[in-house]
Amino acid sequence: MFTCVAIFLAVALAWVPAPAQIVDLCGSTAMSAGGCLVTCPEGDGYRLSDIGATIQVTVVYQGEPVPNIPATDFWLIECDPVDELILCGGSQSASADGPTDAAGQTTISGTIAAGGCAESLALIVQGVLIYDPSTNCETILCLPIKARSPDLNLDLVVNLSDLALFAVPFSSGVYDACADFNCDQKVGLQDLSTFAFHYGPPGHSCFP
């Protein structure tokens, strides 16, 4: 009888699912040299590596590195809530290059499939927003990466509505940072060229 109970318990315990990985919001870190990143809902904007802004990430839990976090469990969002960056749904919108290694480290060097505009980016790992260790985690960790999408009205397609929004700063000279796709503090011909590429036709959108 005892043996049966012992076997039952052993089997039952073996079936207990592994606990979900847990990530420290304070202690985990991310670094990037920063830059000006064109994002497009179609995913054919710049890669972070193209602009020298590859993000180096270290994930820890209670001081210990967390290995094997899947690449798709990494996510980038706008850092300042006054900005708005809309990611296409799905795991390919902003992912790491691979799972975290034994040191809890990975990189993010790809593109972001998104509309909108942000002055800096924040990192989410497995649903946990990462905070800045240099402020004792009193503030969100903001990476100095400016995101600029030709989808200016945040509906995840680049079309006539966006052209109308782009035309205002382009023709009037009234500066609009979100239409300044190369972040050179003016909305000019280079920005028009970037816009035209994603405008199509057909206008770029999520998941073509």
Q: By CB under 5 A, which span of 32-40, 69-77, 121-129, 146-154 interacts with Ca ion?
A: 146-154
Q: Which stretch binds Ca ion (CB under 5 A): 77-85, 96-104, 141-149, 154-162?
A: 154-162
Cβ closest to Ca ion, residue 78 vs residue 151: 151
Alpha helical stretches, state H, the chain:
2-15, 160-172, 189-199
Contact 115, 83 (CB under 8 A): no
At CA 63, angle to CA 62 and CA 66, rounded to 5? 85
Name which of 19, 23, 20 is nearest 129 in CA terms.
Answer: 23
Shortest Cβ distance from residue 153 to Ca ion (Å)? Answer: 4
Task: Using the minimum distance from each CB to Ca ion, give the nearer residue, 76 or 152.
Answer: 152
Q: Does residue 78 belong to the site contacting Ca ion (CB under 5 A)?
A: no
Which of 29, 151, 170, 199 is the binder for Ca ion (CB under 5 A)? 151
Query: What type of residue is 187?
Result: V
Q: How far is the CB of 75 from Ca ion (least distance, A)?
A: 22
Using the contact rule CB under 5 A, the part of the chain among 20-28, 104-112, 119-127, 180-188 near Ca ion is: 180-188
Q: Is 106 helix (H, G, I), strand (E, B) or coil?
A: strand
Q: State yes or no: residue 153 binds Ca ion (CB under 5 A).
A: yes
DSSP H or E segment with residue 105: strand 105-108
DSSP code at position 202: S
Please report, as ranges, the residues that interact with Ca ion according to CB under 5 A: 151, 153, 155, 162, 180, 182, 184, 191
